[in-house]
């Protein structure tokens, strides 16, 4: 196959959702349909349990598992589908945000009872940063959920995206009969069956014919009027609008019952974009370029603490990656070659000889890589778009064993390079603030510092609300602000100025007092997130 054909053959995406909406179940069903796993439960049993019961052992288990399921590849309708795993636990949300920089589209799962939830909104904000195309799957239609039109209105309103239903539910909950596929005028009849792939499809050439009554009985009239309304209210599906992240096609179904998955997957491989290029600091890199480029979006420590090596996950952006060939690590200006590049598939690890745009490869690393690092065939460029997001919880790192301060220093640096947490340096005396999305990470850090680096630490909670990356066009104003806010001004890993705002109130006040200063909630400034 030519490079162009390899590219056109691929689909690289992630499934995202607010916890509990059904991401894990849908992932598993996709793998079942794609023939990548044989039994239901293979993915599910690996999931971290719900927050209250999650403990350290769960995280350790998850570390191992998530290496194994980092990329799940399967074939469907002639395409090679790369499904990138994202952690379901909310404390690992930042991991998910970073993974989204490595995909070309997403499937967003919504619980039909709950509608749009907090994490759904945040994930969509991240998608909007790169205008990532989104397909929405409204799940759990076997439950007494909300009215479908009402759900669509909420999606448009809260996620700032136009929607277009592709299928339409007939009844809901106990009366759920199936879906009408608007794009090919067929009815997929619901049959709650967790084991079987759904096959009860009836084609209705004319929705006004009495055939419809035979098929769905008293629901026929209601469906007719709803379809009329849909066609009147929603624009036709438009490939361009979808590809530019402006329009989300919507499907309804029930993942746990294997229902609605087939059409979702079929349409997904049909309309989802081919692997796309990425913006680098000096230029846009297109996938068809013959020379290999790629970037690191995730780093995993080895689960075996006796070996300090790590796995850096690289998304191939352009050209062909080859095993044992020298590539340039552009940040370090170093030549590196990789004898054992791996793909990870449901616990089986395979060495790859070559990889193409859209693929993700795991490279064994002894400490060369940081998140965002770029590999090329010599060209000096650095991919953009792996931003840090403001953490939610801030604690000061305190050394508990002065004899081991070097180990602590190294450990915390390496762990934060992996993306476990963010590290901020205070102006005074080398003090450090660790910022995370959830409490679990502090447990992880403490445990790993002790086990992998023989360093002991303690965390002292800090009353901060958000980290704001600050920029200005008026340097003297910024200098004044930094001088006045001394203790609350820190540096991030790349030496950028960050203001740790103690509260929403203070942040609002500083925004008023210093109109020349911009307070950004991510380290790259495309998104203006309201707080």
Where would I find the H helices in 354-439?
405-418
Do the Cβ atoms of 384 and 525 come closer than 8 Å?
Answer: no
Which residue, 24 or 374, is less far from ligand G4P as judged by CB? 24
Q: How far from chain centre, in Å, is Cα 374? A: 20
171 dihedral zone (left: phi>0; alpha: psi -120 to 50; beta): left
Q: What is the CA radius of gyration of the chain?
A: 24
Q: Residue 57 CB, nearest distance to ligand G4P (Å)?
A: 19
Distance (Å, whole) CA 102 – CA 359: 9
Do the Cβ atoms of 17 and 3 come closer than 8 Å?
Answer: no
Positions touching ligand G4P (CB under 6 A) are 17, 19-25, 44, 47, 88, 139-140, 142-143, 254-257
Q: How far from chain centre, in Å, is Cα 289? A: 26
Which residue, 151 or 342, is less far from ligand G4P as judged by CB? 151
Q: Residue 256 CB, nearest distance to ligand G4P (Å)?
A: 3
Which residue, 44 or 325, is less far from ligand G4P as judged by CB? 44
Pick from 67, 79, 10, 81: which is nearest to 320 by CA?
A: 10
Q: Residue 140 CB, nearest distance to ligand G4P (Å)?
A: 4
Q: Residue 270 CB, nearest distance to ligand G4P (Å)?
A: 23
Write the DSSP assignment of 465-484 as a string of letters: -EEEEEEES-HHHHHHHHHH
Sequence-distant (6+) residues with CB within 8 A of 408 are: 397, 399, 401, 449, 453, 455, 456, 457
Which residue, 29 or 520, is less far from ligand G4P as judged by CB? 29
Q: Residue 139 CB, nearest distance to ligand G4P (Å)?
A: 5
Q: Residue 27 CB, nearest distance to ligand G4P (Å)?
A: 8
Which residue, 90 or 485, is less far from ligand G4P as judged by CB? 90
Distance (Å, whole) CA 435 – CA 422: 5
Planar angle of CA 359, 360, 362, nearest 5 degrees: 145
Which residue, 59 or 312, is less far from ligand G4P as judged by CB? 59
Which residue, 139 or 374, is less far from ligand G4P as judged by CB? 139
Q: Residue 143 CB, nearest distance to ligand G4P (Å)?
A: 5
Q: Residue 21 CB, nearest distance to ligand G4P (Å)?
A: 5
- Phi/psi at 283 (nearest 5 deg)? -170, 175
Planar angle of CA 142, 147, 152, nearest 5 degrees: 110
Residue for token pair 């589908």: 81
Q: How far from chain centre, in Å, is Cα 400? A: 36
Which residue, 47 or 520, is less far from ligand G4P as judged by CB? 47
Pick from 227, 251, 281, 313: which is nearest to 29 by CA?
A: 251
Which residue, 85 or 418, is less far from ligand G4P as judged by CB? 85
Q: Residue 59 CB, nearest distance to ligand G4P (Å)?
A: 16
Distance (Å, whole) CA 41 – CA 342: 25
Which residue, 261 or 311, is less far from ligand G4P as judged by CB? 261
Q: Residue 173 CB, nearest distance to ligand G4P (Å)?
A: 10
Distance (Å, whole) CA 69 – CA 54: 19
Distance (Å, whole) CA 202 – CA 504: 55
């Amino acid at each position: 196959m030519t490079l162009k054909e390899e590219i056109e053959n691929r689909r690289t995406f992630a499934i995202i959702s607010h916890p509990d909406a059904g991401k894990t179940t849908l992932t598993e069903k996709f793998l079942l349909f794609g023939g990548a796993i044989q039994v239901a439960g293979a993915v599910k049993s690996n999931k971290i349990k719900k927050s209250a019961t999650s403990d350290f052992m769960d995280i350790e288990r998850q570390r191992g598992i998530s290496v194994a399921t980092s990329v799940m590849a399967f074939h469907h309708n002639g395409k090679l589908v790369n499904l990138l795993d994202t952690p379901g636990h909310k404390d690992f949300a930042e991991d998910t945000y970073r993974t989204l920089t490595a995909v070309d589209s997403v499937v967003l799962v919504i619980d039909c009872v709950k509608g749009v939830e907090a994490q759904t909104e945040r994930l969509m904000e991240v998608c909007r940063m790169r205008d990532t195309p989104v397909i929405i799957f409204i799940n759990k239609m076997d439950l007494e959920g909300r009215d479908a039109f009402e759900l669509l209105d909420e999606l448009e309103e809260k996620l700032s995206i136009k929607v277009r239903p592709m299928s339409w539910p007939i009844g809901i909950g106990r009366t759920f009969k199936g879906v009408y596929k608007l794009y090919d005028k067929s009815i997929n009849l619901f049959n709650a069956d967790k084991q079987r792939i759904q096959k009860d499809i009836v084609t209705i050439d004319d929705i006004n014919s009495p055939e419809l009554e035979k098929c769905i009985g008293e629901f026929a009239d209601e469906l007719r009027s709803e379809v009329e309304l849909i066609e009147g209210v929603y624009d036709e599906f438009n490939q361009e609008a979808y590809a530019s992240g402006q329009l989300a096609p919507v499907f309804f179904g029930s993942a746990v019952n294997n229902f609605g998955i087939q059409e979702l997957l079929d349409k997904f491989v049909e309309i989802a974009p081919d692997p796309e290029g990425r913006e680098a600091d000096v230029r846009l890199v297109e996938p068809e370029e013959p020379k290999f480029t790629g970037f690191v979006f995730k780093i995993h420590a080895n689960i075996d603490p006796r070996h300090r090596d790590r796995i850096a996950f690289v998304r191939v952006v352009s050209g062909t990656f080859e095993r044992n060939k020298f590539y340039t690590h552009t940040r370090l200006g170093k030549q590196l070659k990789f004898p054992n590049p791996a793909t990870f598939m449901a616990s089986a690890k395979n060495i790859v000889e070559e990889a193409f745009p859209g693929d993700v490869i795991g490279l064994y690393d002894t400490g060369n890589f940081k998140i965002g690092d770029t590999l090329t065939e010599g060209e000096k460029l650095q991919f953009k778009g792996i931003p840090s997001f403001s953490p939610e919880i801030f604690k000061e790192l305190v050394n508990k064993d002065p004899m081991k301060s070097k180990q602590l220093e190294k450990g915390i640096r390496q762990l934060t390079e992996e993306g476990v947490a963010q590290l901020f340096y205070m102006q005074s005396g080398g003090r450090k603030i660790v910022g995370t999305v959830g409490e679990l990470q502090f447990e992880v850090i403490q445990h790993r510092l002790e086990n992998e680096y023989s360093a002991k630490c303690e965390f002292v909670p800090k009353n901060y609300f958000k980290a704001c990356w600050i920029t200005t066009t008026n340097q003297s104003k910024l200098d004044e602000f930094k001088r006045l806010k001394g203790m609350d001004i820190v540096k991030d890993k790349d030496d950028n100025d960050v203001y740790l705002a103690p509260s929403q109130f203070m942040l609002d006040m500083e925004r008023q007092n210093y109109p020349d200063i911009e307070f950004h909630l991510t380290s790259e400034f495309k998104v203006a997130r309201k707080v």
